[in-house]
Amino acid sequence: MGIVAKPPRFKIPLSVITVFVFSFTFIVLLYTERINLLSSSVFKSKSCAKRGYSKYIRKPFEDEKNSTKDDKFKSIIDDRFIFDPDECNVAQGKWVYNRSFKPLYTDLSCPYLDRQVSCVKNGKPDSDYRRWEWQLDDCVLPRFDARLALDRIRGKRMMFVGDSLQRGQWQSFVCLVEFLVPKGQKSMRRGRVHSVFKIKDHNATIEFYWAPFLIDSNTDEKIIGDPKKRILRVDSIEKHAKHWVGVDVLVFNTYVWWMTGSKIRSLWGSFANGEDGSEELDAAVSYRIALKTWANWVDSNVDPNKTRVFFTTMSPTHQRSADWNNKGGIKCFNETKPVTKRGHWGTGSDKRIMSVVASVVGKMKVPVTFINVTQLSEYRVEAHSSIYTEMQGKLLTDEQKADPFKFADCIHWCLPGVPDTWNRILLANL
Ligand SMILES: *[C@@H]1O[C@H](CO)[C@@H](O)[C@H](O)[C@H]1NC(C)=O
Ligand SMILES: *[C@@H]1O[C@H](CO)[C@@H](O)[C@H](O)[C@H]1NC(C)=O
Ligand SMILES: *[C@@H]1O[C@H](CO)[C@@H](O)[C@H](O)[C@H]1NC(C)=O
Ligand SMILES: *[C@@H]1O[C@H](CO)[C@@H](O)[C@H](O)[C@H]1NC(C)=O
Ligand SMILES: *[C@@H]1O[C@H](CO)[C@@H](O)[C@H](O)[C@H]1NC(C)=O
Ligand SMILES: *[C@@H]1O[C@H](CO)[C@@H](O)[C@H](O)[C@H]1NC(C)=O
């Protein structure tokens, strides 16, 4: 099936266009999908919260250099708290540009990145998007410390479970630590569904398991392009979940695959007439049943004394430039700066889904730690792979690049990039 879709004509009502753009995007997404997996969830077993008050002195920021002496005095006394997962809200903060910030890896230095996310290697002309750091309002979120990360996973299996966004987070995590591991001590085995990065001297693995809906569907392994032909078995998870047993750190996600239209063909229980027994459900309703199936599995199978469970919240998509007031824009194409409006929230993050996640997880027995990436990622309209990506295993051609409405990928993120910050939060909670 080809990726042919005509641009919508402008007499169609906006809602239809939105759905259309979403379905189209989704089809593009499918074809850029290389089957592998990644997803994340973490739970916390906190005995007692450490409270610390840091009055540490920092250097003035670039834009503070011209301020008055008085201002300067105030600004160099940083009275934010040392990061404490129970006290600090990772959604409240701002992106700060730091010219001298260097990510721990690049898409040339890390051999484990997919071409889909290797934007600079694929010709992205600016790498400014790598120099923004997420700064919390009230707390100091520590930078990713690769040594500490290796230490935390020593003797453990860590597994990201979910969709291609989760695969991005997995690759980010691998690249953030692999440069510390000598050549003979590491290995990578990529599979269609299950991939394993092994660190021998630490007896640790960082794995990815592909399960884009977490529950079972007819489009997990052999992807079905037409969303209407997909059927989700919303009460069935064992096929995937048996591979998660015994893992020490589980990091889950699931979101974007649910957003291909407003209805989802869902099947539960058993029907003599098989798939004909499925019903079209509102996406949020179907999502709730599926997430409950997942929650029930976790509660019945995970030993909270042994395993931490994390859940990465929705990764926002940026398909409508009007969301951030760029009326003449084409999706996220050609954006070069994050959105600065505080609390910006676009149509690419579904609040209904967020509330389903919060309510289902809130009733679980096993503690699940959120990596709440939605708000901070909402600002980063300029950090998607856009046209510097591949489709069906091939880099976009010049003609395709010239048609960003159709071909720009505003779902996945360049690496290094925004998912590194997700992992910074993950490590701060680990
Ligand atoms: C600081 O002030 C100088 C002189 O007024 C000006 O040239 C420079 O651009 C200012 N820098 C910033 C960061 O505002
Ligand atoms: C910017 O990054 C550099 C290099 O990592 C670091 O030394 C400096 O403290 C950072 N500046 C700010 C304002 O965070
Ligand atoms: C290595 O880790 C696995 C679990 O991930 C554990 O079962 C095994 O005992 C560990 N081996 C050593 C030598 O620590
Ligand atoms: C977890 O550990 C606590 C304290 O050591 C113990 O009381 C509890 O029974 C354990 N839970 C499970 C599921 O093993
Ligand atoms: C994208 O940005 C480049 C550089 O700023 C500009 O030359 C080009 O016209 C822009 N393209 C579109 C379609 O806006
Ligand atoms: C994540 O953060 C957003 C923005 O602060 C908030 O609205 C949402 O409820 C949070 N989600 C969860 C599951 O805690």
Active-site residue, 318 included: no
Give catalytic status of residue 412 as yes or no. Answer: yes
* Residue 39 annotated among the catalytic residues of the structure: no
Given 39, 40, 118, 164, the catalytic residue: 164
Ligand nearest to the CA of 93: 6
In this structure, is the dihedral angle defined by the CA atoms of residues 55, 60, 64 and 67, taken in order, positive or negative?
positive
Burial 151-162 (b: 16+ CB within 10 A, else e): ebbeebbbbbbb
Instruction: Enumerate the domain spans of the chain.
Output: 14-46+54-429
Look at ligand 6, atom 10, and give the residue with the nearest C-alpha.
Answer: 372
pLDDT tens profile 49-89: 333 344 344 444 555 555 555 555 545 556 678 888 888 99
- Separation of 106 CA from ligand 4 center, angstroms? 43
Which tops the pLDDT comparison, 13 or 290?
A: 290
Of 1-10, 56-65, 131-140, the poorest mean pLDDT is in 1-10
Report which bound ligand comes closest to the CA of 331: 5
> Does the global pTM surpass 0.85?
no
| Residue 139 clears pLDDT 60, i.e. is over it | yes
pLDDT tens for each residue of 348-364: 999 999 999 999 999 99
Name the residue with the closest Cα to ligand 4, atom 9: 305
Nearest alpha carbon to residue 237 among 162, 309, 131: 162
| Ligand 6 lined by 368 (C-beta under 6 Å) | no
Average pLDDT, whole number, for the chain? 85
349 lines ligand 6 (CB under 6 A): no
Closest residue (by CA) to atom 13 of ligand 1?
A: 63
* Omega cis (within 30) before 416: yes
Report CA-CA distances (Å) from 54 to 50, 78, 421. 12, 7, 22
**Atom of ligand 4 lying closest to residue 303 CA:** 13
